[in-house]
Amino acid sequence: MTRQIYINGQLVPREKAVISVFDHGLLYGDGVFEGLRSYGGQVFRLQAHVDRLWESAQAICLEMPLTQQEMCEAIRSTLRGNSIEDGYIRAIVTRGVGTLGLDPNKCSQPQVIIIADTIELYPRELYEQGLEIVTTSVTRSPPTALNPRIKSLNYLNNILAKIEGLRSGCIEALMLNHKGELAECTGDNIFLVQRGKLLTPPLDAGILDGITRQAVIELARGCKIEVLEMALTQHDVYIAQECFLTGTAAEVVPVVKVDSRVIGTGKPGPVTVDLKDRFHRLARKRNSG
């Protein structure tokens, strides 16, 4: 079935889903986006994603051309229009058509695009065996340059890290911040387990405020695991008993090797496996937030 893409209020077949080459989303990466997932036809934490989209837009002074309620309805109708129950949704808002100069004030209306599709980010066996990652030399953008809390269309910082990771044979790569502390991976947040506690970098390490990260923190606290959002270094990774990544597309994925060092036993640990299962159940539960 040909995918139907939402563009500015209309569902059109993918061949007809086009935007101008003068859109500043293309010319400068000037725009914002969200990646969401649906389980059994229900979007996981839709309001949290829409809130984050609005915050990203506000941070780049982009005025949304629709209301939050209209955006929620547009996302749901794009899913329905493609008969997708379990899928991945990409919601994009570009600055719109402008001149060849940077000035966003010279741009027309922001363009709203929603794509719904199915997804499998990492091969299934990696969820059982765990994946290997590598620390990259590419520093995560400092918050004073391009704040990682803004989910903008400019992902080159992450892509450069991803390229380096792929060249060392790893499908995900760890990025440090400008202070040399752990930040996040190219498309996922990172967690460690040390002495029964769950550790993760704080938002002011310069990371995306991940929605899966937040869900996992809530799940862990709900089963009395202490969660510390604190500055962490590579040393903390190397001495951790367990490590895992979280993201909308990735969900919860165990990490068993970092920089060629085996983490813990080299197999997904009990805390990781338990939180992975709890997250699966939460996501598939109706009205999970």
Residues that bind ligand PMP (CB under 6 A): 35, 158, 184, 187-189, 208, 210-213, 246-249
Q: How far is the CB of 106 from ligand PMP (least distance, A)?
A: 29
Q: How far is the CB of 35 from ligand PMP (least distance, A)?
A: 5
Q: How far is the CB of 95 from ligand PMP (least distance, A)?
A: 20
Q: Which is nearer to ligand PMP, 171 or 249 (CB)?
A: 249
Q: Tell me the residue type at 39.
A: Y
Burial level of 97, CB count in 10 A (0-12/13-18/19+)?
Answer: buried
Q: Which residue from 131, 119, 118 is spatially nearest to 79, judged by alpha carbons?
A: 118
Q: How far is the CB of 282 from ligand PMP (least distance, A)?
A: 13
Q: Give the count of beta carbons closer than 10 Å to the beta carbon of residue 163.
A: 13
Q: Which is nearer to ligand PMP, 11 or 282 (CB)?
A: 282
Element (H, E) at 219: helix 211-222
Can 151 be counted among the known catalytic residues? yes
Q: Which is nearer to ligand PMP, 209 or 274 (CB)?
A: 209
Burial level of 182, CB count in 10 A (0-12/13-18/19+)?
Answer: buried
Q: Which is nearer to ligand PMP, 60 or 211 (CB)?
A: 211
Q: How far is the CB of 230 from ligand PMP (least distance, A)?
A: 18
Share of the chain residues as helix, strand and coil, in percent rounded to the nearest 5:
30, 30, 40
Q: Which is nearer to ligand PMP, 119 or 249 (CB)?
A: 249
157 Cβ contact partners less than 8 Å away, ≥ 6 residues apart = 138, 140, 141, 146
User: Half-sphere exposure of 273 toward its Cβ, with a 13 Å CA cutoff?
Assistant: 9
In whole angstroms, how far apart are CA 16 and each of 3, 6, 11, 90, 252? 11, 11, 10, 17, 35
Q: Which of 16, 106, 151, 267 is catalytic?
A: 151
Tokens of 256: 């068993």
Burial level of 155, CB count in 10 A (0-12/13-18/19+)?
Answer: middle
Q: Which is nearer to ligand PMP, 4 or 248 (CB)?
A: 248
DSSP 84: -
Q: How far is the CB of 134 from ligand PMP (least distance, A)?
A: 16
User: What is the set of active-site residues?
Assistant: 151
